[in-house]
Amino acid sequence: MIREKGEDEMSMGILAKRTSMTFFSDAVSHYSHRVRIVLAEKGVTVDVIDSTNMTLPEDVRALNPYDSLPVLVDRDLLLYEPNVMMEYLDERFPHPPLLPVYPVARGESRQLIYRIERDWSALVDKILRDSADADAARKELREGLIAIGPIFGEKPFFMSDEFTLIDCCMAPILWRLSRLKVTIPETKQTKPLTEYMKRLFNRESFQASLTEAEREMHETS
């Protein structure tokens, strides 16, 4: 169960005596969003606090060398890398499993997550920063997604019969396409991709993971 709290609770010393898991989340970041999906999928009771880098408690900032979001605090453990958080949560709360059991399959999954990070997450970041090469990044992201469209016709999820951490990384990017001004044409080639997007977005855990700001991304598109 995810409990959202406002920034006004920052000054209350929420971490002074940590008895429950706390997730400091950027309400619009696709990196924060992927972790929120995992938390919802696992049904973890967690305090989710919408934050900015400037509103993080001092004790959290002191333990985070990058002064970044998101941050997951579980009693005396503090994690500041989203993919590490996802794997930690999958091991800490093993049901339902979001990574394969066997080492070879787990390695392949981790490599796919790495490729998403390098190939698409980096492009999303360029677009959101409105960098000089944002238009080129937008074009590359669009063409990359169109190119892999047919693979989603083979299995219900990203190269898997089961929902995994890979889907947790893909879903926030796909949800943000309209905000990124990336349009996927409706063709025979892209139909498996658009059907995959519907499966992700209709998933109960995905809907539970959305912040108000993220819901507005679609309401205003």
Which one is predicted more confidently, 210 or 12?
A: 210
pLDDT at residue 17, as a whole number: 53
Tell me what the mean pLDDT of segment 144-170 comes to. Answer: 96
Question: Global pTM?
Answer: 0.90
Q: Sorting pLDDT into bands at 50, 70 and 90, what band is 4?
A: low
Domains and CATH numbers, the chain: 2-92 (3.40.30.10), 103-219 (1.20.1050.10)
Q: Which among 169, 178, 176, 167 is positioned nearest to 200, based on CA atoms?
A: 167
Q: What are phi and psi of 31, to 5 degrees?
A: -75, -45
Whether omega for the bond prior to residue 156 falls within 30 degrees of 0, making it cis, is no
| Average confidence score pLDDT of the chain | 91
Which one is predicted more confidently, 137 or 18?
A: 137
- Alpha-carbon distance 21 to 79, whole Å? 11
Question: 6-49: per-residue pLDDT in tens?
Answer: 544 443 444 545 558 999 999 999 999 999 999 999 999 999 99
Looking at the predicted structure, is the pLDDT value of residue 2 above 60? no
According to DSSP, the residues that pair with 46 across neighbouring strands are 2, 21
pLDDT above 90: percentage of residues in the chain = 86
pLDDT at residue 7, as a whole number: 45
pLDDT at residue 194, as a whole number: 97
Question: 66-109: per-residue pLDDT in tens?
Answer: 989 999 999 999 999 999 999 999 999 999 999 999 999 999 99
pLDDT at residue 114, as a whole number: 97
Tell me what the mean pLDDT of segment 146-175 comes to. Answer: 97
